[in-house]
Amino acid sequence: MILITGASGFVGRNLVRRLNPRSNVRCLVRKSSDTAGLEGCELVEGDITDPGSLLEATKGVEAVIHLVAAFGASTYRENYDVHVSGAKNLVAACKSNGVRRIVVASTVATLAERKSDYGTTKAMADEIFAQSGLDVTILKPDFIYGKDGRGFNTLVNVIRGGKMIPIPGDGAYRRQPVHIDDVCRVFFRALSEKAIGKTYVVASREPIEFNRMVDMIMAKLGISKRKVHLPVWLLLLAAKAMKLKKNPKLTQTVILGIAQDRIEDVTPMIRELGVNPISFEEGLEKSL
């Protein structure tokens, strides 16, 4: 039996869809979660911040794929509760029920020079898992895209929406976007014994400037618009002002997650897990 936390999210739904129908999969979902796409799984209501629900969810489980993340959080406390307290709760539940194997979804935001609250608390969670004494593998994906991907859809909608396209900073910073199909392959292979104790960056081989990403999406959509470059400091100020709103559209996590130059080594992922990621150009063909 495999437990997937955060199963109703983009990665979780895609993992479930690719699993063998005969696989025993239990999905931890919140009461408010949209469970479409999780048919055939055992659904358990709970929350990463509720230790009691995790004790129930981890009973009889052989491995956990931990996908929960505070994507929409706008405060440090929200990020801390989900990532750090959540990691402590999950480790305790696994130890109580004799579950040793955990594959953790982290993020390349933990490697950024200037970390957001999201990246900072994710890094703290990684350390908790790494020091837990359990059989842990940590995966750090870059920008995950594909059909129905939340972040990808947001970017596409921004490009489609207005007369101009707002770009944080100069847009020359590079990312290594990774397609959801490759992400799922990595997660499945990370369950192997040889991946225990390892940390892998999950990303494409070729870094691509954000400006170029936007241009490629526009070309695929058959549109042409002017890009307007906005100062990062101004956007961070606006995000700070929006903190008081419920589900703010602009957050520190989004801005710092985009507007930093970041190139990571994916050789270990390719050599040890045997996943050779497709290019962004190839991935767009499958995503739009």
Residue 85's identity, in one-letter code, is: S
Domain membership of residue 119 (yes or no) is yes
Burial 188-210 (b: 16+ CB within 10 A, else e): ebbeeeebbeebbbbbbeebbeb
Domain membership of residue 39 (yes or no) is yes
**For residue 195, what are the domain limits?**
2-145+177-203+263-277
Spatial CB neighbours of 57, under 8 Å, sequence gap ≥ 6: 3, 5, 26, 28, 44, 46, 93
Domain membership of residue 154 (yes or no) is no
Residue 100's identity, in one-letter code, is: R
pLDDT at residue 238 is higher than 90: no
Domain membership of residue 181 (yes or no) is yes
- pTM (2 d.p.): 0.94
Q: For position 244, what pLDDT does the model report?
A: 59
Q: What is the pLDDT of residues 117-159, one digit of tens each?
A: 999 999 999 999 999 999 999 999 999 999 989 889 989 999 9
Number of domains in the chain: 1
Cα dihedral sign for 129, 108, 192, 67? positive
Q: What is the pLDDT of residues 227-237, one digit of tens each?
A: 999 999 998 88
Domain membership of residue 213 (yes or no) is no
Question: What CATH number is associated with residue 26?
Answer: 3.40.50.720
Domain membership of residue 208 (yes or no) is no
Tell me how far CA of residue 66 lies from CA of 45, 148, 215, in angstroms: 15, 20, 34
Q: For position 18, what pLDDT does the model report?
A: 87
Domain membership of residue 188 (yes or no) is yes
Interatomic CA distance for residues 288 and 284, integer angstroms: 6
pLDDT at residue 75 is higher than 80: yes
Nearest to 7 by CA among 36, 27, 34, 31: 27
Interatomic CA distance for residues 36 and 8, integer angstroms: 8
pLDDT at residue 91 is higher than 80: yes
Q: For position 247, what pLDDT does the model report?
A: 66
Domain membership of residue 166 (yes or no) is no
Interatomic CA distance for residues 9 and 68, integer angstroms: 8
